Chains A and B, each alone.
Chain A
Amino acid sequence: MEKVKCECGHVNPYGTYLCESCGKPLIEEKGKLANMRYEGVARRSQTYTRTFVDKIWNFFSSVKVGIWIIVVLLLTSSLGTLFPQEMYIPPGENATIYYEQEYGTLGKLYYQLGFHNLYSSWWYMLIIAALGISLVICSLDRVVPLHRALKTQRVTRHEAFLKRQRLFSETDNAENIDEDMIKAESLLKEKRYKIRKENGNILAEKGRFSRWGPYVNHIGLIIFLIGGMLRFFPEMYLDEHVWVREGEQEVISGTNGEYFLRNNEFMIELYDEEDEKYQPALERAGGPVVKTYQTSATLLRREAGGTIGSETELAEVKDHDIRVNDPLTFEGFSLYQVDYKLNELSSFTFTLESEEENTDLTDIQFEVDLNDPEDVYEFDNGYRIEIVEYFPNFVIDDNREPTTINRIPDNPRIIFEVFPPGTDHEEEQGELSLVGIQVNEPLNGENDYAIRMTDVDMVNVTGLTIRKDRTLPIISVGGFIFMIGLVQGSYWHHRRIWIQNRNGRLVLAGHANKNWHGLKKDFKYLSDETAFPMPVDQSEESSEEENEGVNESHDPTQR
């Protein structure tokens, strides 16, 4: 592409609108004011339009496209909140029927369109990816030429450039120009402007670094999005759940069996209903309100030398009360209090009773650990009781066979076989009975012996989430950079004031990328302290014309 040489001698890339050095308009445009967006630089997207890559580049470099992507993301995101996402529907509910059952036809459609998992759907990911690409290309397309233009800008600008600034004034035969310019220089320095001089002309500039704010925050966003993407690599992210019974310890998954957690005690504390301060609110709530969920836990570590599976020594690493808002953390792992179960059955104590009198069975008492029952219980007086079958969570399945849902003793049933003294447990069959809570049924005819439950032990169980997220540092850095860029671009403003002495003719012009009010105040300060006039806001002139008649004419009650 041909370069364009400006009359000032600077060679500009093809497509430049305002000369990078002196600001002379190289391409004529309608209107009174220069379009100062990106300093009138030539952008790659507007220069090259030939190849396929150019076309892709041009598509994503458009802010218009970028805004459309934002709007599409915004609208689709809102759709996902119409009904709850699958992860938030009540546990145990089946999504295939839940949505239709709860929300009717619309719910069914919601489910069929995949909106119940909208935020992890491929097309939602695609929109986010498009946003990421748009961020990168938009930024690159603008930041490079903008940087060059701001670096090469000359103090002495072309008059056509100055004339087309929003704030502009010219004074013929101004008196004391030189004195006033020296004064203006010190006044502007006082206002923390950076002053550059050339041929007796002044460029006062302030807050240029705020122009980089948008690009800095876009870099932060890109890092953030990359961080979010890394989650899909297995080593980066762990999300597990573990139940730990009081007094027991469980291995912490993801640590290769190195770390264990012991639950010393789990407790729930409620707000005192007698407390005057909270009484009205508690009455409104209509039930107790929880104050604390807490697991007093000990972190244990396998001693060096032990192998997995063998009985090894575990050393205590630290104690921590895990609460909501206060997880236990170690080596990048965090253990969170998320769930609990009170009074889970842990053991039954049984005795044996007989129909016949004078059988002494007082010695026979045994405890069955419901999480790890023994197979056989033998007694000194010759009795032997075997556990034939154990169903921790008993149900009758579809084939009308007894079975267990899982290993959690929520509804335990045990089939016992009782062998009185003198029977051969290998050859003969003992009396069978099915025993559970409020259940005691003989299975093979009338039984002489009955097993009686005399005691029940229960424990509290805590539910913890084990989380490791190695993307967090990246995401945090991204978020931090984003915030810096946002503040940099929002709370500082790039302002420039040009003061030129053209053989006794004073030319003033000003430009701000935002906060014109502040720039005008600076000009006001100058005109108060020197003989400089207050520049005219050329955009106001034109908008006044447009608005003329709006306020006067259409209200007849007005004078």
Chain B
Amino acid sequence: MIQLSANMLYAAFFLYILSAVLFAVSITGGKFKNRKGEEDNKAGLFGYITAILAFGASLTYFITRWIAVGYAPVSNMFEYTAALGIALGLAFVIIHPIYRNNYLGLFTMPVVMLIIAYASMFPREVQPLIPALQSHWLTIHVITTVIGQGILAIGFVAGLLYLVRVIDFKKTSKKVKGVEFIIYTLVATVAYVGLGFGFGAADYEANFAYINEQGNEAEVTYFLPPLIGPNEGELISEQGMSPLVEVPAYIRSDDLNTVVWSVLAGLLLYGLLRLVLRKPVGGAIQPVVKNVNPQTVDEISYRAIAIGFPIFTLGGLIFAMIWAQIAWTRFWGWDPKEVWALITFLFYAAYLHLRLSRGWHGEKSAWLCVIGFALIMFNLIFVNLVIAGLHSYA
């Protein structure tokens, strides 16, 4: 069952690639003609159908894993991040028929793929649930939250599309740098996933004996070549090399090493892109999206936020509070994850007020959508992995 569910996730991943390609064809493929010589570019429709199939496959992954593990598969970093990708796919499948905007498909599908690929970097084995997680509220709270975040992520995608469409990439400006930074972040994530897959396939492992924070001897395993070594580290495996730098014990050297690799590989990849394109990457994409109606994508991003915000609030705050009251004796305890969920809520509330009362449409609104998504990812990755709290299960 677990194998089946894993295969379905792979299938979904490849279907998303196919869908992205079809959406690309629908835009750049020009005017196909059918036998009668009429314009007939159906690639967009096929792209959408493929996106539905991909979502179906990912849903099958979700259900089969649910059956296999015996609880809603949203309990650790792998499961939650994958669910976020699936939710983004779901949000797209819902929103696309309303606006029928193939550009949105072209931009959404790669983000879905990236999130699912990123998820697969985390340990995937079946995890026993600790007592605090044994509740139906795990299912209710997390699934509602993830759907809300998936829909909010559409706001990000549409916002990014808007920015790439309207920003003048010929002049160097903060805006251009901003968009390029977003693109670099995505590229660095690709690099991280690529490195993970590459060295994973090669079974790379370097073990170090080192002195940990408590001053005791401990061992650490690197899955990427160690540029950054642990405190007083000594290589004890055959594979591996001597690190360039050694960091003090209070820094998780293996994680920092991964971050450094991703940043560098991302820079390399991005640099290559710039070299080939000879202009900002956003500027190179812009001609592709020249037919996008900025007002439409602006409305899509706003609609996505207006739809996603209540769902996120319900799942991420209200259901969260109900569960916290049952499991942790209080509905609110200022745990970092709780605080960051509140911050995300406040941020989108500010967005809505700025838009409705202060007339922040278009570009300003698009930047806010991007920042909102950054907050969601920050809460998922940074708060879970770095700021440890009650929610750090992964």
Contacts and interface: CB of A to CB of B under 8 A. Distances in A.
Interface of A: 37, 63-64, 66-67, 70-71, 73-74, 77-78, 80-81, 84-85, 87-88, 119, 239, 271, 277-278, 280-282, 284, 289-293, 323-327, 334, 336, 338, 465, 467, 469, 472, 475, 479, 483, 486-487, 490-491, 514-517, 537, 539-540, 543, 547, 550-552, 554-555, 557-558
B61 interface: no
Contacts of B170: 554-555
A174 B343 CA distance: 55
Interface string B274-314: 00000000010011001001111001001100110110011
B321 A479 contact: yes
Given A78-B343, A81-B383, A281-B126, A324 B98 contact: no
Contacts of A539: 295
B125 A280 contact: yes
Given A67-B358, A539-B295, A550-B168, A490 B125 contact: no
A517 B95 CA distance: 12
Given A74-B343, A543-B294, A486 B126 contact: no
30 contacts: A63-B353, A64-B357, A74-B343, A78-B339, A78-B343, A81-B336, A81-B340, A81-B383, A277-B126, A281-B126, A281-B127, A284-B123, A292-B131, A323-B131, A325-B134, A336-B329, A338-B329, A472-B331, A475-B331, A483-B318, A486-B309, A490-B309, A491-B307, A514-B303, A517-B98, A543-B294, A550-B166, A551-B286, A554-B168, A557-B287
Nearest to B357: A63
A493 B297 CA distance: 19
B contact residues, range: 35 or more
Interface string B325-351: 111011101111001101100110110
Nearest to A486: B310
B357 A282 contact: no
B165 A324 contact: no
B275 to A, nearest CB: 17
B256 interface: no
B202 interface: no
Q: Which 8 A-B pairs have the closest CB atoms?
A: A63-B357, A324-B131, A280-B125, A554-B170, A81-B336, A325-B135, A551-B290, A271-B128
A74 B126 CA distance: 36
Contacts of B131: 290-293, 323-325
A514 B334 CA distance: 35
Nearest to A72: B346
B99 A517 contact: yes
Contacts of B293: 540
A479 B307 CA distance: 18
A500 B287 CA distance: 43
Nearest to B289: A551
Contacts of B128: 271, 278, 281-282, 289, 291
Question: Chain B binding site: helix, strand, loop or mixed by DSSP?
Answer: helix
A70 B368 CA distance: 15
A108 to B, nearest CB: 16
Interface string B95-110: 0001100000000000
A537 B299 CA distance: 14
A469 B324 CA distance: 14
B260 interface: no
Interface string B199-241: 0000000000000000000000000000000000000000000
Contacts of A290: 130-131
A324 B331 contact: no
B382 to A, nearest CB: 10
A203 B125 CA distance: 61
Contacts of B356: 37
Nearest to A288: B128
A475 B317 CA distance: 13
B383 A63 contact: no
Contacts of B374: none
A249 B236 CA distance: 55
B285 to A, nearest CB: 11
Contacts of A66: 353
A239 B325 CA distance: 13
A334 B303 CA distance: 42
Contacts of A516: 299
B387 A81 contact: yes
A325 B99 contact: no
Given A490-B306, A543-B295, 17 more contacts: A63-B353, A64-B357, A67-B357, A71-B350, A81-B340, A239-B330, A271-B128, A278-B127, A280-B126, A281-B126, A284-B125, A293-B131, A324-B134, A467-B330, A491-B307, A514-B303, A550-B166
Contacts of A558: 287, 290
B310 A483 contact: yes
Contacts of A77: 339, 342-343, 346
B343 to A, nearest CB: 5
A81 B339 contact: yes
B132 interface: yes
Nearest to A271: B128
A517 B299 contact: yes
Given A281-B127, A467-B329, A78 B168 contact: no
A88 B325 contact: no
Contacts of B294: 543, 547
A557 B277 CA distance: 12
A70 B349 CA distance: 8
B346 A70 contact: yes
Nearest to A485: B310
Given A73-B346, A467-B329, A37 B310 contact: no
B44 to A, nearest CB: 18
A80 B314 contact: no
A543 B296 CA distance: 12
Contacts of A467: 329-330
A325 B132 contact: yes
A89 to B, nearest CB: 12
Contacts of B357: 37, 63-64, 67
Nearest to B313: A486
